[in-house]
Amino acid sequence: MTLTFKARDVPDGGMHTFELGEQKVLVTRDGDEVRAFDALCPHAGADLGQGVRCGARIVCPWHHATFHAGDGSLIEPPALEGLKQYRVKRDGESLSVELNEEIKPPAPRPSHDDHHTVIVGGGAAGFMAAQTLRDGGYAGKVTMLSAENRAPYDRTALSKGYLGGRRPADRLALGGADWAQDNDIDLREGVKVSGLDRDAREVQLGGETLGFDTVIVATGATPNTLNIPGAELGGQYHLRSFHDAEVLKAAAQGKNVVIIGSSFIGLEAASSLAQSAASVTVIGLDAEIMGRAVTPKVGRAIRKLHEDNGVKFHLDARVTAIEGSGKAEAVCLKSGESVRADLVLLGIGVKPNSGLLSDLANDRGAVPVNAELLAAPGVYAVGDIALTPTVLGEMRVEHWRVALQEGMTAAQSILESSGLEPMDRRVPFFWTQQHGKSLRYVGHAESLDDTHLWGNLDELEFIEFAFKDGLAVAASGMGMDKDLAAFEELLRLGRAPGADEIRQGAFSLAERLRGN
């Protein structure tokens, strides 16, 4: 199939999506330079033409994967690969793209032949580190030690698509079912790492030691537990691993489910289980749901979405005990109320698994690293354990996209890549999906004391900004994807709008990004 168009159909310095039958082609133009790519983001299929372009960066409107406008290469996850690029031909004023003429990216020059990188952890950060090493030409040995008896998988899908039956188990694997074999990764599953000797450059596996030149510690986090009467009873679940989700999904069918915790994991699980459980009740310690990320008025609007789908809530409520005979049968609240429970899901936060680097960690278990994720010579700390510099300052972030960013950065640092994008130039971002609606959150706000909202909460089409020292440092929203993608780029560039300007009334952040 052939796409034909005129150069003037694409704005200079911009991009445009063309439809060709059932396919979509994204075309970028910079003066006389015109390039063509697959228009659908390889992460979740969003039309990239509905996103934003910022210089050489093409930003996906949904989950903010970012690609290079010159060659389609991956700049920012959660996509795991770049875009297919097609050859563009010129005939006078007309341009054409043949979809069977793909431009293959040049193979990277092999490097680090006699090098060994050990990755401790098989989650998002560890996976992305291994993938980036191989994509960048790393020819040495890569060993991945995973505590789970499973190859790396998309953990975000557990509480979203998998529990709700929309994403089967065989579609969870990151990189495909044969990823480790295809990329020559020595993946060891079900492995417990007992120690790390930084001076000897050895990882200890019980009776075995494994030498390394560099080690990437990506050990993740462990869910918090309750310390109340009845905490030992059966029928209580966490949602951290595939095994957790598999057991919970089967157990919740037709049952009265009580979720303790009113933040993202608990609410995503409530959304997913609402169709299969007999009832779903969420108990939250705060006065409104998602209280650390959004203001009460936004929380109320999203809670109404849940309530319209049958989810019940007990908020500003403290759990004092779990009651039952051998297994949980009721959750007791400080108010004296008792909530019937056939099973209980605990969504009360996590603590970082920083034991291998405990001498480097702070009193909260976070391991300080530099902008390239180095915690010590030859030792990288990534993911949930890392206290990382960002454009908004140093922070430990537990979100999926940030973990992927950190894995990519650590690998690029090992490769001494000319394309290294250090973490202090990156912006935190996450998303949550509940009852078919997506809330996206850009940046980070320590406080919600100073905020302003654009849009309509009743229609769930809004952006809520949070300010610090008169500048926007975070924005969350629904239904305004292009502007949120633009806001991330503005934060990255140090051009975020001020509180006074935002309060004057809504304007296009995408236009602001273009300099208009």
* Domain locations in the chain as residue ranges: 2-103, 116-222+351-425, 236-348, 445-513
Task: Provide the pLDDT confidence category of residue 419 given band limits of 50, 70 and 90.
Answer: confident
Mean pLDDT computed over 102-106: 95
- In 78-115, which ranges are E strands? 85-91, 94-103
CA 54 to chain centre: 21
DSSP state for residue 160 in the 8-state scheme: I
Average pLDDT over residues 361-370: 97
Q: Give the number of residues written for the chain.
A: 516
pTM here is 0.96
pLDDT of residue 516: 61
- For position 304, what pLDDT does the model report? 98
pLDDT score recorded for residue 296: 98
Residue-level pLDDT at 92:
87
445-513: in CATH 3.40.140 = no
Mean pLDDT of 297-310: 98
pLDDT of the residue at 93: 87
**Predicted pLDDT at 1:** 85
Mean pLDDT of 11-30: 96
- pLDDT one-digit tens code per residue, 194-210: 999 999 999 999 889 99
Inform me whether the pLDDT recorded for 345 exceeds 90: yes
pLDDT of the residue at 71 = 97
Whether pLDDT at 189 is above 90? yes
pLDDT at 513: 96
Give the burial class of 423: count Cβ atoms within 10 A of its Cβ; 0-12 exposed, 13-18 middle, 19 or more buried: buried
Which CATH number, 2.60.40.10, 2.40.110.10, 3.40.50.300, 2.102.10.10, labels domain 2-103? 2.102.10.10
**How high does pLDDT run on average in the chain?**
97
**What's the pLDDT tens digit per position in 247-301?**
999 999 999 999 999 999 999 999 999 999 999 999 999 999 999 999 999 999 9
Average pLDDT over residues 164-193: 96
Q: Do domains 2-103 and 116-222+351-425 have the same CATH topology?
A: no
* Strand spans (E) along 294-436: 312-314, 319-323, 330-333, 338-340, 343-346, 350-352, 367-368, 374-376, 379-381, 386-390, 393-395, 429-434
Please compute the mean of the pLDDT values over residues 363-374 and round it to a whole number: 98
Percent of the chain with pLDDT over 70: 100
**Domain boundaries 236-348, CATH class:** alpha beta
Contact (CB, 8 A) for 411 and 246: no
pLDDT surpasses 90 at 391: yes
Give the model's pLDDT for residue 351.
97
Across 72-184, the runs of DSSP E, i.e. the strands, are 74-76, 85-91, 94-103, 116-120, 141-146
- State yes or no: pLDDT of 99 exceeds 80: yes
The topology under which CATH files domain 116-222+351-425 is FAD/NAD(P)-binding domain (3.50.50)
